[in-house]
Structure 1
């Protein structure tokens, strides 16, 4: 108990020190929560929720990052025009109270919520929406805006009708567009003033309209948020939230069991009993994700589909998944999760066949491969990328291929993937919006941190475009099934698994849930 008291005292001292800074700008000033903390009122442990994850965010600007570690923090700071239902990807009103769609699907008119302010005190209105969208459209869009094409690729222009009405005109019909506007990356609305004050980059100065506002980011240690007492909706239950970064899986478990963290993620099957035996709880839910191995299709020998197929044949996926994930993941036979529109149980990847793999690889002269991977757990791969790479390395040794592995922390790994110096990389995806395009478009995206296989198939891309424009229903579902078939035939990826979501939390934590899109909304979470 003494250790827990000391830790919380230290953490709260950090919050007190930081809360005197005005949110978003970082300039000196006072906030409602900061004043309360500094007034001499004795804070209780219940006033601070500590969430431990495996790595720092890449940044806190929703237009400039594309990773889950960033998203988990940002959804508590920002909001979009739309949001998802708590238990699904059904779209609900957010900063837009209602919307109209023209019969031809080319015009969306959004009626905005009134009286909403950004955390820097400026007004949310139609001009702010226009500013945010145009920031991610040509000619202003920049190469580091990885989600711009995902969210706004079909947008032609944005018009301010009046202060609280905005019209979005489309270049072509886009069935996923409403779902896209609820995504946690690309779509959230940032304070235009904060963007202007920070040279169009608020990675370290986030400012939205959400229930929590930014206080500080100590790299390698934590991000501190405090309640936005001017929030337009239901105020956050817990005053302060600290996202703590603990790289090692076992160390996060120790932190939870010692009371140094209230919630942890990135855990695997091997620690479930350890968590439960300490009196803590496990959150488990189906994951909307895919964990995969990708071939660099732009470089020999993996510019040859026969070689990619042979390497895939060398890996016994069901055996690997059973060994690594021990029942907390299902072996993947396709890219799409089984509950996603377009999924077809008849689609199969290259079947495990050691002799066929040996023969093809020997004829192609493939004796070694260079693999890169990540060292921390991910929502789709709780065993971490290095453990997965080492398992594949073992299989490849049985077919006469020596695999070298370079493992990096997540932030560095993203840069290595972008550089493209690898034969094979390990990656994954947690669905943003419940639409099959969100998965299959990964093999058509121009961004190499999205399309890590660097796959470039004009026919595939044309079918992607057709799927986006086709209304929801059987015809559209068949398009995504066909895309799955093409990807399997070309052996672009070796799908590994669909992971279940696992989190650990203290027994006194109430109303915690992990959304199927891989983020955590903490404003309703409390400690008893």
Structure 2
């Protein structure tokens, strides 16, 4: 054999060996690259890593490893348990909550965790320090009038009025985590790229468009993290991410495409599934023409075959919603009825709204998959576009990468937009407030919808402690929201995450938080 032939043969054997090794389902040295490194396949870069300035799942999943709040959710539920606070008490009038803080905790930069650190983290999101681009501050700290450092390890929060969801808000990974006061001072707005918390993993570096690297924090106060390093690897396409999972280039992936589930399972991958605490929707900009007209919003709602989307676009891995609330959230009303698919009635409403021959509008969407929409925004928009064409309505689609999408909808580009919501805390207020007038400024009210009666009811529900009374209030809120049709309620997605068979200790959580501190590879 010639030297050239021998070289080709050796190259073939080498490449074949890599492929075979990558396909081995139990080889921890090939999955993710090393036994002490966990690689998580994500759909895109986060918007940032400062809890005060982000509102997306990609940011939350990385921050889950870096930061902690005063309290946290119990595994598998939205019940509250201690975290950086060991205990708390509520005054008889419900307006003061006092937290006892865990002692001996340090931030990743060596700064001591204490009451002053809590005060800095919270007050930067309260007037007068609060900034307009802090999307959750209005919600998380609604009604907070004072944050007091009673002593080094005691913090007292004073509220204007009792707040039923406030303690649950404190467990959220957006807005509520405690950041290093030294890092806030050092980095300012650059904290978005230099996060410093108290969590099990500390930030190492961020290669934009490629990956984020975290390392185990040796000084962590709790159970030591199982892995030495975590890498969040950004892979836009679902199918590519699934392929990399099967070959061992990543260990865990989110954004599982419904079309890939059977293939993943047939290759020995584990696909975790649970009912999703989310809502997938199309929002109309109700503050400007043409969708300031309720009849036009109702017509579009009736022209979209939502059941078909659930059955075929999502292949049954979703639930058809009748309310903005998932049916397991306390306060959900089974009596609310959205506008059913009825193209003939939709045409009549079009005529009533002044468009007997149809009309043309533009909807913006996002190009990547989302937990509430695993097929991505472009595919969803195309399916809706096809339905609307049947009643003579032309919907133009303009798509953005995820990081560019938020400025587009904040500026109300186009006439409508596709979006979704992942519940933060398991409380009905966390969903219904998305239609509150007060949330227009902070960008959470994407439809720019305003109804004074609905605002009044939401505030009543927020300050009412009795569960039965709250449920009655929220039933009325859901009824108004469906009747006014600021959104087309498309689906509640089933939460899914896929992982290699040697991953241990991972579990889905209703809030879509992902805690990797206890996850290991065998």
What TM-score do you get using the length of structure 1 for normalisation? 0.91
Give the CA deviation at 1:199.
1.7
* Contact 1:112/1:126 (8 A) holds in 2: yes
1:254 corresponds, among 243, 259, 269, to 243
Question: Secondary structure of the residue that 1:122 maps to in structure 2?
Answer: coil
CA distance in 1, matches of 2:80, 2:441: 27
**Map of 2:211 onto structure 1:** 222
**Map of 2:258 onto structure 1:** 269
Question: Secondary structure of the residue that 2:374 maps to in structure 1?
Answer: coil
CA distance in 2, matches of 1:437, 1:413: 25
Change (3 A) 1:304 1:44: closer
* Contact 2:505/2:518 (8 A) holds in 1: yes
* Contact 2:330/2:428 (8 A) holds in 1: yes
* Contact 1:269/1:328 (8 A) holds in 2: yes
* Contact 2:135/2:442 (8 A) holds in 1: no
Residue 461 (1) aligns with residue 458 (2) = no
**Map of 2:234 onto structure 1:** 245
Where do 5+ consecutive residues of structure 2 fail to align? 1-16, 23-31
Give the CA deviation at 1:362.
3.5
Give the CA deviation at 1:345.
1.4
Q: Deviation string for 1:428-455 (max 9, x for gaps)?
A: 1110000000000011113363111001
CA distance in 2, matches of 1:429, 1:179: 17
Give the CA deviation at 1:525.
0.5
Q: Deviation string for 1:188-246 (max 9, x for gaps)?
A: 00000001001254110000000000000011110100000100010100110000100
**Map of 2:506 onto structure 1:** 512
Residue 93 (1) aligns with residue 87 (2) = no
1:212 corresponds, among 167, 191, 201, to 201
Give the CA deviation at 1:99.
0.4
Q: Deviation string for 1:78-109 (max 9, x for gaps)?
A: 00000000110000001000001001011111
* Contact 1:268/1:328 (8 A) holds in 2: no
Bigger mean CA deviation after superposition, 66-75 or 268-277 = 268-277
**Map of 1:33 onto structure 2:** none
Question: Secondary structure of the residue that 2:489 maps to in structure 1?
Answer: strand
Bigger mean CA deviation after superposition, 274-283 or 146-155 = 274-283
Change (3 A) 1:78 1:5: farther
**Map of 1:474 onto structure 2:** 468
Question: Secondary structure of the residue that 2:424 maps to in structure 1?
Answer: coil
Give the CA deviation at 1:2.
2.7
Residue 442 (1) aligns with residue 429 (2) = no
**Map of 1:503 onto structure 2:** 497
Residue 121 (1) aligns with residue 110 (2) = yes
* Contact 1:372/1:407 (8 A) holds in 2: yes
CA distance in 2, matches of 1:400, 1:473: 46
CA distance in 1, matches of 2:189, 2:390: 51
The equivalences for 1:287-302 within 5 A come to 287-302=276-291
Change (3 A) 1:448 1:189: closer
- Number of equivalent positions: 493
**Map of 1:2 onto structure 2:** 18
Give the CA deviation at 1:511.
1.1
CA distance in 2, matches of 1:448, 1:97: 32
CA distance in 2, matches of 1:262, 1:2: 17
Q: Deviation string for 1:43-69 (max 9, x for gaps)?
A: 981100000011110000000000001
Residue 433 (1) aligns with residue 420 (2) = no
Question: Secondary structure of the residue that 1:203 maps to in structure 2?
Answer: helix
Question: Secondary structure of the residue that 2:192 maps to in structure 1?
Answer: coil
**Map of 1:401 onto structure 2:** 393
Give the CA deviation at 1:460.
1.2
CA distance in 2, matches of 1:408, 1:346: 37
* Contact 2:138/2:442 (8 A) holds in 1: no
1:416 corresponds, among 369, 385, 408, to 408
Change (3 A) 1:394 1:44: closer
CA distance in 2, matches of 1:360, 1:208: 53
RMSD: 1.5
